[in-house]
């Protein structure tokens, strides 16, 4: 007989794994579908200090290893597949993976998001070794060092001001000739003593042997290239890139309500489609972190269970009539 899961969770990052855990604890038949390495963005970092109740300092892979063990122990299956299409209307939802077609009564979208990369030589190799995309996560590692922030929009400028709490100096490298953030934020940063702004400037290459040691920047008006070396005493500096995030919502872009590409939910993680929930970085929210992704996943799973109960109740009413 055709298998119909109670819930299919698309994405095996912290949000999806947490949803899988809560679904299993509620005795739901749950399936997590992950297209890549299970764990999502956090497995790309080896220094995590802000996940409550994990040991004081740990790594992304270590957190995920424990979470996966917990999820599988409770009975949720994780499969490797790349979801290419979904049918979300009706009481039975259909998920088309590259390898298989899956069906479920509810769906939790936990596809996550990705930081937009600079795409310059050295960036990939030095990510987590001086190059960062998250001030909340990594600011503290650059205490008393110099930090360069890339970007000129709201988040770049706000994060630059936040990073002055740690850095001895923060320099914003802005590609345009003016900041593109809101005027109120621009006014604040122009009056901020700890932040310098260099306009019309882009990073061309990041260099270092296991850690960021220097970079080449280019003035896009004059073409002049300059090498920035780490202060001799420090040996390194931070490069924080805030040029946007890319929500992984291509799959559902015409199927659930989105705002700037992110899924709109209510506080119970419900989307505008009955039986479809969203959790984690993929949804509209103010803080994209492991702790909030895990929390969203738990709420989404509990609400998915309640939704199935309400469907069953209404079927009983129809049968009784």
Ligand X SMILES: Cc1cc2nc3c(=O)[nH]c(=O)nc-3n(C[C@H](O)[C@H](O)[C@H](O)COP(=O)(O)OP(=O)(O)OC[C@H]3O[C@@H](n4cnc5c(N)ncnc54)[C@H](O)[C@@H]3O)c2cc1C
Binding site for ligand X (CB under 6 A): 10-16, 33-36, 40-42, 44-45, 48, 50-51, 82-83, 110-113, 115, 128, 133-134, 137, 248, 251, 280-282, 288-291, 293
**Residue 196 Cβ vs ligand X, minimum distance, rounded to whole Å:** 25
DSSP state letter for 91: S
Report in angstroms the alpha-carbon separations of 315 from 28, 55, 117, 262: 19, 47, 49, 33
Instruction: Report the residue number, 248 or 271, with the smaller CB distance to ligand X.
Output: 248
Instruction: Report the residue number, 266 or 316, with the smaller CB distance to ligand X.
Output: 266
Instruction: Report the residue number, 44 or 180, with the smaller CB distance to ligand X.
Output: 44
Report in angstroms the alpha-carbon separations of 35 from 29, 97, 111, 127: 20, 9, 10, 22
Look up 144 and say whether it is catalytic.
no
Q: Which of 6, 138, 281, 296 is catalytic?
A: 138
**Residue 29 Cβ vs ligand X, minimum distance, rounded to whole Å:** 19
Neighbours of 53 (CB within 10 A): 5
Q: Which of 137, 174, 181, 281 is catalytic?
A: 137
**Residue 109 Cβ vs ligand X, minimum distance, rounded to whole Å:** 9
CB 247 within 8 A of CB 264: no
Q: Which of 81, 134, 140, 154 is catalytic?
A: 134
Look up 174 and say whether it is catalytic.
no
Show Cβ contacts of residue 38 under 8 Å, excluding neighbours closer than 6 positions.
12, 17, 32, 64, 68, 78
**Residue 317 Cβ vs ligand X, minimum distance, rounded to whole Å:** 36
- Rounded to 10 degrees, the C-alpha dihedral 152/154/155/161 comes to 80
Catalytic residues: 134, 137-138
């Amino acid at each position: 007989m055709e298998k119909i899961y109670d819930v299919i969770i698309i994405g095996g990052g912290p949000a999806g794994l947490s949803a899988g855990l809560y679904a299993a604890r509620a005795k739901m038949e749950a399936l997590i579908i992950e297209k890549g390495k299970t764990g999502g963005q956090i497995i790309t970092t080896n220094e995590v200090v802000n996940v409550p109740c994990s040991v004081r300092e740990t790594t992304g892979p270590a957190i995920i290893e424990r979470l996966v063990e917990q999820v599988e122990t409770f009975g949720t299956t994780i499969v490797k597949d790349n979801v290419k299409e979904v049918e979300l209307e009706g009481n039975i939802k259909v998920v088309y993976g590259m390898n298989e077609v899956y069906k479920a009564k509810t769906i939790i979208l936990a596809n996550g998001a990705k930081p937009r990369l600079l795409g310059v030589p050295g960036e990939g190799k030095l990510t987590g070794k001086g190059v960062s995309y998250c001030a909340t996560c990594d600011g503290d590692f650059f205490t008393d060092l110099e930090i360069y922030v890339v970007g000129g929009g709201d988040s770049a400028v706000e994060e630059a001001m936040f990073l002055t709490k740690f850095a001895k100096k923060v320099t914003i490298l802005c590609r345009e000739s003016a900041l593109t953030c809101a005027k109120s934020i621009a006014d604040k940063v122009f009056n901020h003593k700890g932040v310098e702004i260099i306009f019309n400037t882009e990073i061309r290459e990041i260099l270092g042997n296991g850690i960021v040691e220097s970079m080449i920047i280019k003035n896009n008006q004059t073409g002049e290239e300059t090498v920035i070396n780490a202060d001799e005493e420090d040996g390194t500096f931070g490069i924080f890139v805030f040029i946007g995030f890319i929500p992984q919502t291509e799959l559902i872009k015409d199927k659930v309500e989105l705002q700037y590409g992110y899924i709109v939910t209510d506080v119970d993680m419900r989307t505008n489609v009955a039986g479809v929930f969203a959790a984690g970085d993929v949804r509209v929210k103010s803080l994209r972190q492991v702790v909030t992704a895990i929390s969203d996943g738990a709420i989404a799973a509990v609400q998915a269970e309640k939704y199935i109960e309400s469907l069953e109740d209404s079927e009983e009413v129809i049968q009784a009539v």
